[in-house]
Structure 1
């Protein structure tokens, strides 16, 4: 099979994410086979022309691409290597795409087991939520060989507007974990901001409106993620003056927020860490404001 000849797709796991992703595959002329442990989850697909399989093995026997979106590592293992799993029936050349967020070591291990039978397993976690899936606007981070990546770009393009080749098997998951580190650290930072705003007598629902509005304009944290290395910048690097300016503004505002928190008796551990780490993280070193606050704290 090549990029132009991957035929019938199969989808295992028709939950909150799997269902809208599988629905996007319905439009492919090669057809779609689905499987879920809940028979009623398959009905909307069979009503639209898909075929329902009775097991992962039954699905794999007739599909060139098997997409898997289940809960965790244990379920992925069962789907792929269980007694009635994909590997028990998949033909050589079949691609198994794991969209679940699992351990990268699990992905590498399962890829090795699949390779022994001539099957290519790729880790392809997604970002963008169910809404992104419904709109065909997900980002997919793929761990695969160059050849296999070329083969899956077309079907993945039905549910994703960004398909990134992160590297070999395991790299897709590692990229997803880095992405979600930012996601959930920022959620934790949001709770700090809410505590500060609430202690200051502000309406935190109105604060939320402001955050969503401005992040939609500025791009949030992603707006500074342009560098190709995390090494310190040299002064003649074109990014140096830009990130130096970001540091100046960021340290000023962080210091003001921390001063307010001190007056209100609110503990902001992430805010304090951000003040000390912002400049070095941007590659431009610690600025005067952060150095001054650090000296005061250690005096």
Structure 2
């Protein structure tokens, strides 16, 4: 018996098995036919299939055969191959990826990333909009973190082993991309976007998201923030700006947006040979002896 299903597929049901058939240019291709071909020849056929058919074809093959075909696909069309892997159920994707990680270590984590991104995308209230393209491999960060990214009409979800899946809505996604993305100084996000403490001077409100950056804040700062990170992007009516390095660490120790400093008003700016600075409201007289008033920022060399 053969039942018609979308994209020209057929499902043949016998006494002991279920076999998927995919039609390519009028030719019926099943898992056995693909496995009888060389990986390169099978990959040529899979590349001609619609996305869902390609996923089904790879799933119906043995994990070892599927891995060999995927190896070729990753060299010929990485985005297509990653999208097909991400379309598999995690239980079927994991053995295929496991057979590939010795040759492509950056694939490690893809099954977890695809599942976490799917779950985050489907959360109630999501404003990300439609997907744009498929899952992509994010560029390694300055701390050599690897991960994956999915673009949407209104932002991005980025996954890494350290931060998990993090939604980056606009304008955080644009700000991050404009500063090198995951390969830039911010690196991978390590927290969701959250509401910042209103500034005490004028009750300015906003949001923030934390990132790994090029090095980690000291233990005292991490304890205050409740997370291992090295940079924060703040968004308010005054704009979107990052704090990092010695200035960022000192800012967080002073209390961040809830301190007399309030929200950042600019990017980090040159301040001669002594260091760099970020504009903020003028300190009250009572703060003249504070740590921030006494220091110009503790800077460390970037590794």
- Indicate whether the TM-score tops 0.5: no
The structure where strand makes up a greater share of residues is 2
TM-score between the two structures when normalised by the length of structure 1:
0.29
Bigger Rg, structure 1 or 2 = 2
- TM-score between the two structures when normalised by the length of structure 2: 0.28
Name the structure, 1 or 2, with higher relative contact order (CA <8 Å, separation 6+): 1
